[in-house]
A and B are shown apart, each in its own frame.
Chain A
Amino acid sequence: MSTLVETPRTGAEINYLNADYGWKSWLFTTDHKRIAMLYLISITGFFFVGGFFAFLMRMELLTPRGDLVQADTYNKFFTMHGIMMIFFFLIPSIPATLGNFLVPIMIGARDLAFPKINLLSWYIYITGGLFALGAVVAGGVDTGWTFYTPFSTTYSNTYVMAAALGVFISGFSSILTGLNFVVTIHKMRAPGMTWHRMPLFIWSHYATSIIQILGTPVVAITILLVAAERIFHVGVFDPAVGGDPILFQHLFWFYSHPAVYIMILPGMGVISELVTCFSRKRIFGYTVVAYSSIAIAVIGFLVWGHHMFTTGQSMYAGLVFSALSFLVAVPSAIKVFNWTATMYRGSVSFDAPMLYVFGFIGLFTIGGLTGLFLAASAVDVHLQDTYFVVAHFHYVMVGGMVMAYLGGIHFWWPKMTGRMYPEAWAKFAALVVFVGFNLTFFPQFMAGYLGMPRRYHAYAEEFQVYNVLSSAGASILGAGYLIPMVYLVWSLWFGKRAPANPWGAVGLEWMIPSPPPTLNFDKTPVVTWEAYQYHEPDRPEVEVGR
């Protein structure tokens, strides 16, 4: 750290935010940091649209009879909730905002390899989002976010085309982001920034990019086939002409299962940064954590069949997919153990981002372990398509991913905006989110085991207790998400000015001013140290586990 490239400066100087003014300077920017801000604003918008639909669903599910809205209206609610949250919030969330902002800085580059393509990807994302929003405004879609055939191709008479087109288009945004990251990480690293000196945030984004590059095109062509089938009725997924609706599921899950790793891997990267900074200690088992990300990306491509244990695929296929699904759980377990071990003999502080880390570790552990229930094909026969799956998915995605996202936003907020957020409010919000989350989704495990199928507009009476609890939790959770929204916006004008390194963190992004100048580094840094050098440089290495 003695080789600091620049002395930290306060925000009074020229930085990427005040370098230029006017809407053109934002909409035509090629600065990765400004594009990250564009993404941040737009995905927040989509998050609240998706959240609004979740709120409507939870209101409907207060009573078993389905008396608030019509069945087809309810079906549109959960479809739009799924499409908005998955394709327009979760998939771009961390990579497109924090990733866009931090990947070049963390490796000592001035920008991503292809800045114009980066901007293009945001426009593609917005175009796709407008199609999806158009589908909502026009009257909604009722296929579920999975677009299962032949319902989506033949039987649904809602705006499937607009929504499918939206998903298709936004897929290219994801591909371009992944492509940009891969090339940047390969070719733009500063001198001395070897692969094993990179922060784990970069490793997890590299793994994510691999999935984006290899998986997304498959869902693109699949959705194209669905669209063609819907318009021309040529029979490629239509059993009446000899087509096979199960083929759709194979193609769809070939992408959409790895896609859940697109959603969670960047979150794992954020947690690795946060847990080290707030334990002020090097990550335990750097190499293992780094390569476990790659392992998840690779094995993740081989487990899609576990979504189809009850469709009629052969028993042997079911068993192979079951075994591989257990295998993919191992690298996630390794990560959890390493994060925990990182705190051992550390110097743990309880700032708001660290509270999110605690939340993440607990909830992701539950989410991961309940995944074992679903990997066990015989147990999955009972649990498939019930609320147990819904709860499992939300524990990983909301309990894991959104926790990491919020933790990351708080952690890097000073760097991104040059302002501190109000710490007391942030701690309070983290607590509210944690409580609200568990109250919302834990009862869904119980309802699922009891047999409540997902996507039910009306349900049997014995499930009502759990649904009332869940709806109550959802209102707390909703409030928990609104609080940060308010105080973060407030802090843009009234927050304390942030120093270059408010956390005492290491990493290249903390060695430049907050907010960073447009070109990040006046002079390209030369890296001579490992990541996470929180210990005193002259202290000897300590071995544990002997």
Chain B
Amino acid sequence: MAANTEVVEHGPELRHHFEQPDQQYQAATLGMWTFLLTEIMFFGGLFAAYAIYRAAYPDAFASTSQYMDVIVGGVNTAVLICSSLTMALAVRSGQLGQRNAVILFTIATMILGAVFLGVKAYEYHHKWVEHLVPGFNWHYEDSRYAHHAQILFFLYFVMTGMHAIHMIVGEGLLLSLVIMAWRKKFTSLWSTPIEIVGLYWHFVDIVWIFLFPLLYLIGKHKL
């Protein structure tokens, strides 16, 4: 009970409606976790659609595997996992108040994210060349599966596209972290933005961890 009367020393980052920095920190973290819950449900709708159509058309879905480059997808997965590592290091550096390390690791995360997006763009381009973009440029070699494979490729573009949009948003957030760190906003006592952006970045990675096997490895068990 005494806590509210105690005058806590705090920096300018404590907003007027919070009592103490710890309360603000907990609110921010819980807010991000709650937001991630909504994100899970958002992607959950897509995963449900995927599950239902894959159960309905297993062969058509398996037939698309030949157009998915596992090597490229695998490399991209590795890139993303590395970016999670650098992100975690950035968060730790933030907690320790190491400004230069924060900037370094955040930029490294941004670069890895950019590599991922670049590879994704290359893959999209490849799909376009191969006439595998439903609604725009669609021609499927195997006429038996032309219709049903179209659904898979549609889901592929929606799911990876949504993921990519989240990545782009993440890049923007990382950029703002770099700027804030550059302006010496963070201290060892207060690095909440780094942590919540970190949560977001890890979530986006985890989504990809699910997308990769679902989209790239469907037909591989038959090889």
Which of A's residues lie within 8 Å of B, judged by CB? 104, 109-115, 175, 179-180, 182-184, 186-188, 190-192, 213-218, 220-222, 224-225, 228, 231-236, 241-244, 247, 250-251, 254, 519, 524, 526
**Is B44 in the interface zone, CB < 8 Å from A?**
yes
Which of the 9-residue segments B45-53, B68-76, B86-94, B201-209 touches chain A? Answer: B45-53
Asked if A213 and B42 sit within 8 Å, CB to CB, the answer is: no
Contact indicator B41/A236 (Cβ below 8 Å): no
Q: Is there an interface contact between B31 and A114, defined as CB atoms closer than 8 Å?
A: yes
- Complex Cα distance A235/B57, Å? 14
Interface 1/0 per residue, B140-180 and A, CB below 8 Å: 00000001101100110010000000000000000000000
Q: Report which of B1, B34, B158 forms a contact with A179, defined as CB distance below 8 A.
A: B34
Counting chain A CB atoms within 10 Å of each CB, the highest count among B3, B37, B39, B43 belongs to: B37
From A110, A228, A233, A247, B17 is in contact (CB under 8 Å) with: A110
16 further A-B pairs in the complex, CB-CB below 8 A; given A232-B154, A236-B151, A254-B45: A110-B17, A114-B31, A180-B31, A187-B27, A188-B23, A213-B37, A213-B41, A221-B42, A221-B46, A231-B135, A232-B135, A233-B135, A241-B147, A251-B48, A251-B49, A519-B16
B97 in contact (CB, < 8 A) = no
What is the interface size of chain B, counting residues whose CB is below 8 A from a CB of the partner? 40
Evaluate contact between A234 and B151: CB separation under 8 angstroms.
Answer: yes
A residues near B3, Cβ cutoff 8 Å: 191
From DSSP, what is the main secondary structure of chain A's interface residues? helix
| A191 near B42: Cβ-Cβ < 8 Å | no
Q: In the complex, what's the smallest C-beta–C-beta distance from A472 to chain B, in angstroms?
A: 43
Which A residue's beta carbon lies closest to that of B42? A217
Q: By the criterion CB–CB under 8 Å, are A183 and B34 in contact?
A: yes
Specify which chain B residues have a CB less than 8 angstroms from the CB of A190 in the assembled complex.
4
Q: A183-B27, A183-B30, A187-B27 are in contact. Are A213 and B38 (CB under 8 A)?
A: yes
Interface presence of B67 (CB below 8 A): no
Take A232-B134, A251-B49 as given contacts and tell me if A188 and B150 are in contact as well, using a CB distance cutoff of 8 Å. Answer: no
A186 cross-chain contacts in B, Cβ below 8 A: 27, 30
Question: Which of A112, A216, A526 is the one whose CB lies under 8 Å from B38?
Answer: A216
Given contacts A111-B17, A214-B38, contact A192 B1 (CB under 8 A): yes
Q: How far is the CA of A110 from the CA of B16 in the complex (A)?
A: 8
Instruction: Say yes or no for B59: interface residue by CB 8 A criterion.
Output: no
Q: List 26 A-B contacts (CB under 8 A).
A: A110-B17, A112-B17, A179-B35, A179-B38, A182-B30, A183-B27, A183-B34, A184-B27, A188-B18, A188-B23, A190-B4, A192-B1, A213-B37, A214-B41, A216-B41, A217-B38, A217-B45, A218-B44, A220-B45, A221-B42, A228-B154, A233-B135, A235-B151, A236-B151, A241-B148, A251-B45
The reply to whether the CB of B26 lies closer than 8 angstroms to some CB of chain A is: yes
Residue pair A188, B27 in contact (C-beta under 8 Å)? yes
- Assess the B154–A235 pair: CB atoms within 8 A: yes
Contact call B17/A115, Cβ cutoff below 8 A: yes
Task: Decide if B135 touches A234 in the complex (CB within 8 Å).
Answer: yes
4 nearest A-B residue pairs (beta carbon): A232-B135, A217-B42, A111-B17, A221-B45
Among B17, B23, B44, max chain A CB count under 10 A is at B17
When distances are taken between beta carbons in the complex, the residues of chain B under 8 Å from A242 are: 53, 56-57, 147-148, 151
Closest B residue by C-beta to A187: B27
Q: Does B210 contact A (CB under 8 A)?
A: no
Indicate whether B19 reaches chain A with its CB closer than 8 angstroms: yes
Q: In the bound complex, what is the Cα–Cα distance between A99 and B94 (angstroms)?
A: 36
Chain B's closest residue to A518 (CB) is: B16
Cα A317 to Cα B90 in complex, Å, equals: 49
The residue from A111, A214, A234 contacting B154, defined by CB atoms under 8 A apart: A234
- B154, A218: Cβ atoms closer than 8 Å: no
CA gap between A187 and B52 in the complex, in Å: 39
Assess A191 versus B4: contact at CB under 8 Å? Given A183-B30, A183-B34. Answer: yes
Partner of B45, one of A104, A179, A218, A243: A218
